[in-house]
Amino acid sequence: MTFRADVQPDDMNGWPDPQPIRGELPPVESFSEELLPDSLRPWILDIADRMQVPLDFPGVAAIVSLAGAVGRRATIQPKARDTGWVVVPNLWGGVIGPPGYMKSPVINAVTRPLMDIEKTRHDEHDKALAHYLKDLEEWKSNQTGPKKQLKEASKGKVNQPKPVADRPREPLLRRLVAMDVTFEKLQDIMSENPAGILLIRDELTGWLAEFERNGREGERQFCLTAWNGDTEYTVDRIGRGTVRVPACCLSVLGGIQPQRLEDYLLDAGRSKHNNDGMIQRFQVVAWPDMPTDFQYVDRPPDKGAGELASRVFRRIMEVDPRSPLQFGFTDDAQEIFASWHEDLERTVRQATLPPELISHLSKYRSLMPSLALLFEIADRATGSGGFVGSLPGDTSGFGRVSFDHVMQAYQACVYLESHARRVYRFFAPEIRAARALAERIRQRHVGDSGFFTLREVYLKGWHGLGFPEAVRAAASVLQRAGWIRAVTKGTGPSGGRPSERYDINPKAWRIE
């Protein structure tokens, strides 16, 4: 927040600097270890304990990492008979915390199994590429003789030459993770990797801010499309040719500082792009209360838990995305999902909720079945059997997500919704009204004499401030932010209700 130099109020003594209008943080659910699949739980608990961070951080990072590993290797049909609705379980998520709270080290620790797989693939590709280059040189050297023989054979001088071997095919690099990548290169990578890609960014708001620049509309649309996980995308460019991605699938994971998130949300609210649902696609977001205590822990990592987690990810990566696993719910799990789905639809139809929060919660339609599927696959990956057809008498070729994993996903959605409400508190009616009133104060549309009354404001009929309750709620927010302070005024000589008067912080007129 900056102050104008051309406005010098006479008396600023005793007034604090006005603070940005953000509102108080509502309470959130704590992350429970019961929200994690059994196969990954010991590993995540070990990371949280050794790093002394909220369990939310490695828990959320593990869920998104699991989504990045599965990608298009598995799908789920949420309804029993509606074959037209199929969900790809890719997810966008992030951990929110102040600087110095180990967000990046936690993400690095959780994504280590994926990075190890990525390194193995690079090493294998380097060897395959060396063989390819050698074979290519041999192939080129063998072209001269046959070409000459073919020319002489056409003149009847020699017999026809033997068929020439086909040109060697350059090996493709199978990718899983991307970090510092341009959108053009990301499209190239996706075109060669049908399972999808996990994008890891240290600071997510910086990545999001890139889309707000002029000329980046195409990149923004590409990422919006890639969130769906199953939509074709074709790019045609002169000089680059045609790049076709049969099915864009992008999972995203990163860290966010609260201050930067708040600034981004405030700016996005004024942006022409704010209604396309970009920020609402971050379904798996945790903003926990930061612990004030600390316990020094110095012990080796739980080797067994780490090896088990690595086996889970490696077994998932063995699934061919060109023949994805297909899942539905067991009968009892289907009943839970149907009940939850009805409750969700009633919630998003509440006109009292901020539109931004409604947009966010509406995307839980795919979140809940995605989580249930991911938890099911993670636990099946530790067994000796296959991923599908495990139920007696089931010959459909479908895997069945169990009642326990659906309940786990249900509880995860309850947890995530509480954190979403903390994020979207900026768009609550009282915060919107407070910003509207603050702008009227700053522009001297009200309180030019240094104070105003409640009645004076609501009688003007300004949008969002046309009722006493709305102005009173806005004034309460502005008091906490240091913009105004209430002054008690008694009744007049003729009686009647006391007026609700507020003195204005002179520094508010200096805010640019």
**For 378-427, how does the pLDDT look when each residue is reduced to its tens digit (9 = 90+)?**
999 987 666 764 444 454 567 899 999 999 999 999 999 999 999 988 77
* Comparison of pLDDT for 139 and 61, the residue scoring more: 61
pLDDT in tens, 161-196: 555 578 889 888 899 999 988 888 888 999 999 999
Crossing angle of helices 303-317 and 41-51, rounded to 10° = 130
Q: pLDDT confidence of 57, banded at 50, 70, 90?
A: very high
Q: What is the DSSP string of 292-355?
A: S----------HHHHHHHHHHHHHHHTS-TTS-EEEEE-HHHHHHHHHHHHHHHHHHT-TTS-H
pLDDT over 90 (residue 30): yes
Number of residues that this document lists for the chain: 512
Do 512 and 5 form a contact (C-beta atoms < 8 A)? no
CA distance 231 to 279: 19
Q: pLDDT confidence of 31, banded at 50, 70, 90?
A: very high
End-to-end CA distance of the chain: 8
Question: How do strand 74-76 and strand 325-329 relate by DSSP bridges?
Answer: parallel
Q: pLDDT confidence of 85, banded at 50, 70, 90?
A: very high
Question: Could you give the count of Cα atoms lying within 13 Å of 170 in the half-sphere of its Cβ?
Answer: 4
Confidence at residue 392, expressed as pLDDT on a 0 to 100 scale: 43
Mean pLDDT calculated for residue range 417-443: 88
Mean pLDDT calculated for residue range 75-89: 96
pLDDT over 80 (residue 127): yes
CA distance 501 to 351: 32
Do 286 and 57 form a contact (C-beta atoms < 8 A)? yes
pLDDT over 70 (residue 38): yes
Confidence at residue 6, expressed as pLDDT on a 0 to 100 scale: 46
Surface-to-core class of residue 233, CB atoms within 10 Å of its CB (0-12 exposed, 13-18 middle, 19+ buried): middle
Confidence at residue 390, expressed as pLDDT on a 0 to 100 scale: 45
Crossing angle of helices 56-70 and 41-51, rounded to 10° = 140
Do 18 and 483 form a contact (C-beta atoms < 8 A)? yes
Residue 386 tokens, joined: 């296959």
Domains contained in the chain, CATH given: 33-120+174-427 (3.40.50), 429-510 (1.10.10.10)
- Per-residue exposure over 268-283, b if at least 16 CB sit within 10 Å of its own CB, e if not: beeeeeeebebbbbbb
The beta-strand segments (E) located in 136-267 are: 177-178, 197-203, 231-237, 241-248, 250-256
Do 196 and 252 form a contact (C-beta atoms < 8 A)? no
Confidence at residue 299, expressed as pLDDT on a 0 to 100 scale: 96
DSSP 398: -
Beta bridge partners of 501: 453, 487
Q: pLDDT confidence of 5, banded at 50, 70, 90?
A: very low
Confidence at residue 219, expressed as pLDDT on a 0 to 100 scale: 85
Does the CA dihedral 65-69-72-76 come out positive or negative? negative
- Per-residue exposure over 387-400, b if at least 16 CB sit within 10 Å of its own CB, e if not: bbeeeeeeeeebbb
Mean pLDDT calculated for residue range 200-215: 84
- Per-residue exposure over 413-431, b if at least 16 CB sit within 10 Å of its own CB, e if not: bebbbbbbbbbbbbbbebb
**Mean pLDDT of all residues belonging to the chain:** 86
Residue 112 tokens, joined: 């280590």
DSSP 493: T
pLDDT over 70 (residue 273): no
The alpha carbon of 370 is separated from its chain's Cα centroid by a whole number of angstroms, namely: 14
Residue 473 φ/ψ region, left for φ over 0, alpha for ψ in the -120 to 50 degree band, beta for the rest: alpha
Confidence at residue 414, expressed as pLDDT on a 0 to 100 scale: 97
Helix (H) / strand (E) element for 135: namely helix 112-141
SS3 365: helix
* Comparison of pLDDT for 49 and 350, the residue scoring more: 49
CA distance 93 to 74: 19
pLDDT over 90 (residue 276): no
Q: Is the pTM of this model over 0.85?
A: no
pLDDT in tens, 218-236: 888 889 999 999 888 888 8
